[in-house]
A and B are shown apart, each in its own frame.
Chain A
């Protein structure tokens, strides 16, 4: 019974839990329910990934209406992989959030925080598992609305304007996706993704479909904060509560990258998007500019959360670069970086949240002397920071290794060199923070008794992510297997209709 409905569980569990969390009335009870539900969703996602790696893809007809008429949930290696990352991070962040939320959010809003978190998780899972283009838009808006609420929950009033800016930009992005999907429906008369891909291939070249592609790409570009559409992201991540930033930075933009991959490879077909429309050059240029411009911006910021937010935009550049390389190896590098970056940024933002918990603000000068007074937090920050830089034995190295080797496979020396140069900027912005933490003394007038290690409930999830950073950097079999299976699957299914054209690409 439950096996059969496994595909729907990652959406249904959090969606049902959302009102229950609101009704239980006590903050600690709500925390427990939310964490348990998120944990169950993680187990379901794990089962789905195992099933998909063993037997290809899995289809679930919602309400018993068969595709392409009904809404189909379609799970393959690609989305099961991202789904596992999203649900697992959600569970860890929820464990972490008990103390962090008690410190940063007013007590009468705690229940609302857990409710919004559950709705956001339901929306993100829905985007990942759905096989219907319009349904994707609906889930995108469910997660986005929950996100605006989450950002606005902080006690600093600047979170309000940040959330409002995010709302305006996010709504424009989602509406663009809606227009794009409308164009596709106008031409093909279907909304099911697989059905769409078959029918789009029937047309040699259609202006309606190409316009739809343009709208979808811009809309998704806003959602995933692709340079130069990223201006909503730094303020939102800076002023949101720490637990929210840790969750959003490691899941929301990653899911948007997945949406881009799904639209390019499954719906429009890589051949059409890259060879006929020349999107690969556009994406590659934007990605490289994102890596350099935003890494540079990260080196000049004073607020550490802003530093990491700009670093996120730069890291999204690496993922998009992987997609724009137009090869199974490049796509795999992009997918693996989705997973790995979730691990790094989750750990980093949790560490910054821990500093906020003790010090009360997270400007660069507040980090002075923390290496001695909060050793575990700063050790975690250091290891995750090294991972962002891409030091061997961390997951960051694995991502960059696959990205550089995918670029070299195509003889694209310039991109490989640029990726490595981008890492040097990461050395600068992580290095500034580590320098303050380890080589400077605690500011005068601060009571050393006050600045001590944070509670275990915050340290343990942070360190689980840090250890995952190291573990998946050494034993890469799980991540590389899943990512390469997903990339192979996406790439092959994308070129079945016109295999002879794709082979010409070096």
Chain B
């Protein structure tokens, strides 16, 4: 039981990661694929953020009377990764708009030519 409870943040991460991954693989709709990709990336953000937590530590802002702070570096790293994720999503959605204009559909099984399957 403690194996589950002590590492609950990792279980959340693993669950989200597999959910996102499954959506990317199984979804037929391209927008859903991008949503799955987002969930997948978010799980990694959670992994980083939860690893920065120091037991008993507070937010890393210098105030009087506080000695122990959480590690701010993973948070900063993940800010960068979030920006990367947003950029990826926007490029993906822009591509979907152009696919819709070119093919008239964003459903994978409606592409006529097998060359075009994703």
Contact = CB atoms under 8 A, between A and B. Distances in A.
Contacts of B24: 168, 172
Given A172-B24, A172-B40, A164 B47 contact: no
A161 to B, nearest CB: 5
B84 A152 contact: no
A185 interface: yes
B118 A161 contact: yes
Given A141-B88, A152-B95, A157-B103, A182 B48 contact: yes
Nearest to A232: B118
A202 to B, nearest CB: 19
Contacts of B103: 157
Contact of A175 (B44, B74, B77, B102): B44
Contact of A235 (B51, B91, B99, B115): B115
B116 interface: yes
A186 B54 CA distance: 12
A164 B41 contact: no
A137 B103 CA distance: 33
Contact of A167 (B44, B74, B91): B91
B84 A141 contact: yes
B116 A161 contact: yes
A198 interface: no
Interface-central residue, A137, A141, A171, by most chain B CB under 10 Å: A171
Say which size band chain A's interface belongs to. 20 to 34
Given A157-B102, A182-B44, A182-B47, A167 B88 contact: yes
Interface in B73-118: 74, 77, 80-81, 84, 87-88, 91-92, 95-96, 98-99, 102-103, 111, 113, 115-118
Nearest to B71: A189
A158 interface: yes
Contacts of A178: 44, 81
A147 B46 CA distance: 28
B40 A165 contact: no
A325 B21 CA distance: 34
B37 interface: yes
A145 interface: yes
Contacts of A161: 99, 111, 116-118
A224 interface: no
Contacts of B113: 158
A179 B45 CA distance: 9
A148 interface: yes
Interface in B19-52: 21, 24, 30, 33, 37, 40-41, 44, 47-48, 51
Given A167-B88, A171-B37, A172-B24, A160 B44 contact: no
A134 B77 CA distance: 8
Interface in A141-170: 141, 145, 148-149, 152, 157-158, 160-161, 163-165, 167-168
A179 B92 CA distance: 21
B99 A164 contact: yes
Contacts of A141: 84, 87-88
11 contacts: A134-B80, A148-B91, A157-B102, A157-B103, A158-B115, A158-B116, A160-B98, A171-B41, A172-B37, A174-B84, A178-B81
Interface of B: 21, 24, 30, 33, 37, 40-41, 44, 47-48, 51, 74, 77, 80-81, 84, 87-88, 91-92, 95-96, 98-99, 102-103, 111, 113, 115-118
